[in-house]
């Protein structure tokens, strides 16, 4: 009986009002923050982690990156961009470099990549590209991607051209580990 009297007393109502006011303030702070975070992740940028060695020496396993999603709304991928894409073979995300653009003929021969018959200058590589591939023309709304560590890369040589719609965004910034913080090139 005392509890019922306490709740109906002015002090009890005041305590409930304080608790409700506190809960309301928390919700007014947390809900917008969560909504903003979800919107940023969906439309502007997202964090991702490098898995494997296919992009060595440019990117290393366990590096953490920010992938920006805005620029490809205004223009297509550009040669040399490092992109995060949905694998055509599974649900995993891959990180690769854009090599061939729509309408271009791509060929690999004698350890070199050729675009429309011209040798591609790839200063980011430590070893030449092995084997022979192509020539094939990149279809509209697709790109040809390769890993920088060609001997250990699952890329367009294995799964074919990548639809531009499968590209999540461009790898923009490395934020971990701290000694490698900087813009991804």
Of 69, 96, 153, 156, which is the active-site residue? 96
**pLDDT tens sequence across 82-121:** 999 998 888 889 999 999 999 999 999 988 999 999 999 9
- Six token digits for residue 184: 């991804």
pLDDT of residue 156: 95
pLDDT tens track of the chain, all 185 residues? 444 444 455 555 677 888 888 888 888 888 777 777 776 666 677 888 899 999 999 999 999 999 999 999 899 999 999 999 998 888 889 999 999 999 999 999 988 999 999 999 999 998 888 889 989 999 999 999 999 999 899 999 999 999 999 999 999 999 998 898 888 88
Of 54, 69, 153, 156, which is the active-site residue? 54
Q: Write the Ramachandran bin of 4: left for phi over 0, alpha for psi from -120 to 50, otherwise beta.
A: alpha
Q: Are 63 and 176 in contact (CB under 8 A)?
A: yes
pLDDT of residue 45: 73
Confidence (pTM): 0.79
For the chain, which residues make up each domain, given as ranges? 2-43, 50-183
- Six token digits for residue 125: 């590589």
Residue 109 is among the residues annotated as catalytic for this protein: no
What architecture is domain 50-183?
Ribbon (2.10)
Question: Given the structure tokens 């250990």, which residue do they identify?
Answer: 152
Residue 69 is among the residues annotated as catalytic for this protein: no
Contacts of residue 85, Cβ cutoff 8 Å, sequence gap at least 6? 93, 94, 95, 96, 145, 162, 166, 167, 168
Question: Strands 82-86 and 182-183, how do they pair?
Answer: unpaired
pLDDT of residue 1: 45
pLDDT of residue 48: 87
Q: How far is CA 68 from the centre of its chain?
A: 7
């Amino acid at each position: 009986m005392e509890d019922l009297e306490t709740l109906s007393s002015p002090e009890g109502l005041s305590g409930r009002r304080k608790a409700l006011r506190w809960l309301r303030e928390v919700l007014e702070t947390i809900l917008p923050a969560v909504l903003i975070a979800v919107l940023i992740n969906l439309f502007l940028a997202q964090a991702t982690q490098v898995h494997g060695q296919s992009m060595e020496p440019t990117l290393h396993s366990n590096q953490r990156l920010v992938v920006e999603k805005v620029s490809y709304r205004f223009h297509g991928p550009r040669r040399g961009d490092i992109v995060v894409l949905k694998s055509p073979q599974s649900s995993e995300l891959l990180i690769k470099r854009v090599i061939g653009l729509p309408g271009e003929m791509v060929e690999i021969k004698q350890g070199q990549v050729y675009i429309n018959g011209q040798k591609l200058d790839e200063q980011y590589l430590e070893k030449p590209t092995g084997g022979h591939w192509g020539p094939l023309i990149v279809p509209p709304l697709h790109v040809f991607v390769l890993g920088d560590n060609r001997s250990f890369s699952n890329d367009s040589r294995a799964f074919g051209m990548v639809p531009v719609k499968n590209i999540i965004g461009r790898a923009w910034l490395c934020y971990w580990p701290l000694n490698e913080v900087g813009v991804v090139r």
